[in-house]
Amino acid sequence: MSGPTATPSGDHLEIKDSRTGKTYTAPIVDETIRTADLKQIKVNADDFGIMGYDPAFMNTASCRSSITFIDGDKGILRYRGYPIDQLAGKASFLEVAWLLRRGELPTQPQYDQFVEDVTYHTYVHENIKHFMEGFRYDAHPMSMLGASVAALSSFYPTAKNIYDERERDIAFIRLIAKMPTIAAFAYRHVKGMPYVYPDNALPYAENYLSMIARMSEPRYEANPVYAKAIDILFILHADHEQNCSTNAVRAVGSSHVDPYSAVAAGIAALYGPLHGGANEAVLRMLHDIGDVKNIPAFIESVKTGKGEARLMGFGHRVYKSYDPRAKIVKALCDDVLKIAGVGKDMEIALELERIALSDEYFIKRKLYPNVDFYTGLIYRALHFPTDYFTVLFAIARTAGWLAQWEEMLLDKEQKIARPRQIYTGSPEREYKTNLDYKHKITK
Ligand code: CMC
């Protein structure tokens, strides 16, 4: 922003400060003004200057990013320019993970090497296994995942050399490789079943399903439809630009901590019911409805706000015409249910969807099924417990978190994330205690 006398060339905002009568101009670049520039607007020379107030970052761009593009009104989602439906239809999750980080699709030798590297690093240190054995029988799988990924940082201390590209390479490979192993160990722990080691002859999704389901058979052969569904779901969840957990990874990573610790912060953010927990909520809602005949009463309670019920799996902060991922997952859901059979949950979900899509309340508010309306149904059909759903999300999102973390790190404009506040507390006052300390410290 220029002072009152400067005249910038190009598009700009003019801001008149009614307190002083001065007019300021702020350049507009990419439909954005820099809030830091507002600091120059002040009444007295020693004032801090004007700040932007934006709780929950409703209208603040925190970075420039070339990874993921979303147009919520048009229902567009692209990774590095590639439409999500093309990637889900033709690419593998590992190819997408490479693309997100590197910005271009891998060549055949690059892809082969990456697959080999990831496969080689699927095992975790035995002490991680012992560490996980220490969790209680009813530990939430997201708690186990978050704690174990944070613990990985202690196994790879050189990962803190974040400006060494080789360290970033190996951390990326290790995290993509080990996340399914830790996730599967968490699953087996809750079930009280022995942990299954990776089978490195299997592709990524098949290996994960083997670690989940294998019992005494020498080699687990996953149903190809289920393995394909898992791989596609991983692609759909791999990144979603500046969402809550990605913002957490960037903010924590901006302190220059190692990537294992930054990703653990992302897992903690994803654990929350307003973020990764929505597909879990869909299944709980279907369970509460219980029967198709109860749907009209449930819809009515949503519309009247009775009990503050929401139709979980409907609506999105960004997508206001449709969620492009939902279309793909719905087709996937059909494929899986052809094999797994249509259970009661699915019957209720389909009827709920049919009624909601023709109801004026939902049409007027642009409430369409989002990705989570269907993912929970697929996970249920694959017999994953409801509180495990978010773990599947975390395996996939690791690719996006790491791509975004590295982009933040190499961005010369970024610094340690440190927002400002508007202080609303008490003015200065004198300390006088009412407590009678047993062991008083005399000063
Ligand atoms: N069921 C019933 N009414 C709804 C719903 C819903 N699912 N979502 C929004 N509304 C209504 C809301 O009551 C409000 O109505 P009114 O204008 O009469 O007050 C209007 O629609 C706008 O709602 P909002 O809360 O301002 O919208 P938002 O953009 O802040 O919320 C949302 C987006 C996703 C939090 C919300 O739609 C919601 O709670 N949906 C259910 C939870 C869910 O499925 N979450 C998963 C999102 S996808 C996850 C991902 O992308 O990672």
Q: What is the pLDDT of residues 331-378, one digit of tens each?
A: 999 899 999 887 888 889 989 999 988 999 999 998 999 998 999 889
Q: How confident is the model at residue 196 (pLDDT cuts 50, 70, 90)?
A: very high
What is the pLDDT at residue 248? 98
Give residue 218's identity as a one-letter amino acid code: P
Could you tell me which of 351, 348, 346 has the C-alpha nearest to residue 377? 346
Higher confidence at residue 409 or residue 305? 409
Residue nearest to atom 32 of ligand 1 (CA): 316
Enumerate the active-site residues. 275, 316, 372
> CB under 8 Å to 170, separation ≥6 — which residues?
156, 159
Residue nearest to atom 4 of ligand 1 (CA): 310
CA dist 34 and 48 (Å) reads: 16
What is the pLDDT at residue 307? 54
> CB under 8 Å to 375, separation ≥6 — which residues?
233, 279, 329, 389
Phi, psi of 41 (to 5 degrees): -85, 110
Q: What kind and span of H or E run contains 76?
A: strand 76-79
Domains in the chain, ordered, with CATH? 12-57 (no CATH), 83-316+324-415 (1.10.580.10)
CA dist 314 and 371 (Å) reads: 9
Percent of all residues in the chain with a pLDDT value above 70, rounded to a whole number: 96
CA dist 393 and 332 (Å) reads: 16
What is the pLDDT at residue 420? 96
Q: Which residues pair with 29 in a beta bridge?
A: 32
Condensed to tens digits (0 to 9), the pLDDT of residues 242-254 reads 999 999 999 999 9
Condensed to tens digits (0 to 9), the pLDDT of residues 374-399 reads 998 899 899 999 999 999 999 999 99
DSSP H helical segments within 156-164, as ranges? none
Top mutation candidate among 58, 77, 316, 362 for ligand 1, by most atoms within 8 Å of CB = 316
Give residue 304's identity as a one-letter amino acid code: T
Using the mean position of ligand 1's atoms as its centre, give its distance from the Cα of residue 362 in Å. 10
**Token pair listed for 105:** 């699709």
Give, in order, the Cα–Cα distances in Å from 27 to each of 65, 132, 177: 20, 53, 45
Top mutation candidate among 84, 280, 370 for ligand 1, by most atoms within 8 Å of CB = 370
Using the mean position of ligand 1's atoms as its centre, give its distance from the Cα of residue 315 in Å. 5
Q: Which ligand 1 atom lies nearest to the CA of residue 315?
A: 37
What is the pLDDT at residue 103? 98
With H, G, I as helix, E, B as strand and everything else as coil, classify residue 211: helix
What is the pLDDT at residue 280? 83
Do residues 206 and 149 touch, judged by C-beta distance below 8 A? no
**pTM, entire model:** 0.92
The neighbour count for residue 380, using CB atoms within 10 Å, is 23
Q: How confident is the model at residue 306 (pLDDT cuts 50, 70, 90)?
A: low
Quote the distance between the C-alpha of residue 300 and its chain's center: 32
| Whether pLDDT at 3 is above 50 | no
> Where does ligand 1 bind, in terms of residues with CB under 6 Å?
240, 278, 302, 310-317, 365, 367, 370-372
Percent of all residues in the chain with a pLDDT value above 90, rounded to a whole number: 82
- Mean pLDDT over each residue of the chain, to the nearest integer: 93
Q: Which ligand 1 atom lies nearest to the CA of residue 243?
A: 52
> CB under 8 Å to 197, separation ≥6 — which residues?
123, 211
CA dist 212 and 219 (Å) reads: 13
Residue nearest to atom 45 of ligand 1 (CA): 278
What is the pLDDT at residue 249? 98
Give residue 431's identity as a one-letter amino acid code: Y
**Token pair listed for 214:** 């294998």
Q: Which residue has the tokens 């990456």?
A: 114
Using the mean position of ligand 1's atoms as its centre, give its distance from the Cα of residue 313 in Å. 9
What is the pLDDT at residue 276? 87
Q: At what angle do helices 224-236 and 324-340 cross, to 10 degrees?
A: 160
Using the mean position of ligand 1's atoms as its centre, give its distance from the Cα of residue 248 in Å. 22
| Whether pLDDT at 267 is above 90 | yes
Could you tell me which of 212, 222, 218, 110 has the C-alpha nearest to residue 169? 110
Q: Which residues pair with 314 in a beta bridge?
A: 369
Q: Which ligand 1 atom lies nearest to the CA of residue 317?
A: 29
Q: How confident is the model at residue 7 (pLDDT cuts 50, 70, 90)?
A: very low
CA dist 295 and 303 (Å) reads: 12
Residue nearest to atom 34 of ligand 1 (CA): 316
Could you tell me which of 238, 244, 249 has the C-alpha nearest to residue 162? 249
Top mutation candidate among 270, 279, 310, 322 for ligand 1, by most atoms within 8 Å of CB = 310
Using the mean position of ligand 1's atoms as its centre, give its distance from the Cα of residue 310 in Å. 8
b (16+ CB within 10 A) / e for 129-160: bebbeebeeeebbbebbbbbbbbbbeebeebb
Residue nearest to atom 20 of ligand 1 (CA): 365
Residue nearest to atom 17 of ligand 1 (CA): 365
Answer left, alpha or beta for residue 281, where phi above 0 means left and psi between -120 and 50 means alpha.
alpha
Using the mean position of ligand 1's atoms as its centre, give its distance from the Cα of residue 311 in Å. 8
Residue nearest to atom 43 of ligand 1 (CA): 313
What is the pLDDT at residue 342? 75
Do residues 181 and 123 touch, judged by C-beta distance below 8 A? yes
| Whether pLDDT at 4 is above 50 | no
What is the DSSP code (8-state) at residue 134? T
Give, in order, the Cα–Cα distances in Å from 129 to each of 1, 189, 196: 55, 10, 11
What is the pLDDT at residue 281? 87
Top mutation candidate among 236, 247, 314, 327 for ligand 1, by most atoms within 8 Å of CB = 314
- Residues 31-50 have a mean pLDDT of 96
Find the radius of gyration of the CA atoms of the chain: 25
| Whether pLDDT at 443 is above 70 | no
CA dist 246 and 262 (Å) reads: 10
